[in-house]
């Protein structure tokens, strides 16, 4: 899928993304450690910019539907990520950078997308925030499920409006797409390493 070959002087450029609760952040950290890459987390940059705008909680900006602010911050994040890829051996963790790299013919070593069904992503989000997975926590489950849907829909609109990205079809922009719904972290990681090796992305 890569239109151009990345110069050997710049080493590797991995791009990894996925919707909330897919496990993409965990896998990104594992890949960065394995290949000795600098991990640049687009979501972390985004949250820092939100805090500078006076939002102590990321969700406030999302669910107050302040989409004008979010679009402006998206552009700032993208510009920062463009600068980061000029460094050698980098892993970009971002929901939309694989699409940007494809559309702008930025040569990448490999672009990876991790997905999972909504139920699994909701359970993972509950675990992340310390909720026990049980029927007594059905209310937090419903709230987190709805929040994930809201975030996905808002991301879809923002990325389409700003960059013309079809967020619903990651196969259009990524080399490797993994459904982690029925895989644990190690199984997902091992499967990605196999695809990287078998696909000839690492020479």
pLDDT band at 194 (very low <50, low <70, confident <90, very high): very high
Q: Give the angle subtended at the CA of 104 by the CAs of 99 and 110, to the nearest 5°.
A: 55
Q: Cite the beta strand spans of 148-203 per DSSP E.
A: 176-179
Per-residue pLDDT of 5-21, as tens digits, reads: 777 778 999 999 999 89
Q: How far apart are the first and last CA of the chain?
A: 16
Is residue 194, in this structure, part of any structural domain at all?
no
| Residue 14 placed within a domain | yes
Residue 104 lies in a domain: yes
Q: Please, what sign has the CA dihedral across residues 41, 164, 146, 178?
A: negative
Q: Compute φ and ψ for 150, nearest 5 degrees.
A: -60, -45
Residue ranges making up the domain that contains 67: 10-177
196 domain-assigned = no
Residue 2 has what pLDDT? 43
The CATH number given to whatever domain includes residue 60 is: 3.40.50.300
Q: Look at residue 67 and tell me if it is in a domain.
A: yes
Distance CA 137, CA 143 (A): 10
| Residue 184 in domain | no
DSSP state for residue 110 in the 8-state scheme: E
- Other CB atoms closer than 10 Å to residue 2's CB: what's the count? 17
d(CA 19, CA 147) in angstroms, rounded, equals 12
Which tens digits make up the pLDDT trace of 19-43? 989 999 999 999 999 999 999 999 8
Rounded-to-5 percentages of helix, strand, coil across the chain: 55, 10, 35
Tens digits of per-residue pLDDT, 58-73?
Answer: 555 555 557 777 778 8
Asked if pLDDT for residue 201 goes beyond 80, the answer is yes
Cα–Cα distance, 19 to 125 (Å, whole number): 11
**Cβ atoms < 10 Å from Cβ of 193:** 15
Assigned domain for 171 exists: yes
Q: Report the domain count for the chain.
A: 1
């Amino acid at each position: 899928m890569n239109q151009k070959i990345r110069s050997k002087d710049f080493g590797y450029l991995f791009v990894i993304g996925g919707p909330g609760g897919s496990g993409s952040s965990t896998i990104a950290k594992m890949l960065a450690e394995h290949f000795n890459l600098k991990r640049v987390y687009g979501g972390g940059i985004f949250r820092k910019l939100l805090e500078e705008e006076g939002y102590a909680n990321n969700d406030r900006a999302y669910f107050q539907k302040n989409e004008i602010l979010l679009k402006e911050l998206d552009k700032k994040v993208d510009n920062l990520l463009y600068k980061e890829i000029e460094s050698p051996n980098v892993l970009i963790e971002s929901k939309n950078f694989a699409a940007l790299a494809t559309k702008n013919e930025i040569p990448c070593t490999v672009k990876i997308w991790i997905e999972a069904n909504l139920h699994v992503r909701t359970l993972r989000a509950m675990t992340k925030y310390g909720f026990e997975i049980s029927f007594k926590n059905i209310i937090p489950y419903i709230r987190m499920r709805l929040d994930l849907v809201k975030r996905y829909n808002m991301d879809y609109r923002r990325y389409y409006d700003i960059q013309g990205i079809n967020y619903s079809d990651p196969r259009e922009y990524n080399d490797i797409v993994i459904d982690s719904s029925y895989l644990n972290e190690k199984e997902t990681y091992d499967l990605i390493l196999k695809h990287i090796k078998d696909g000839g992305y690492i020479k």
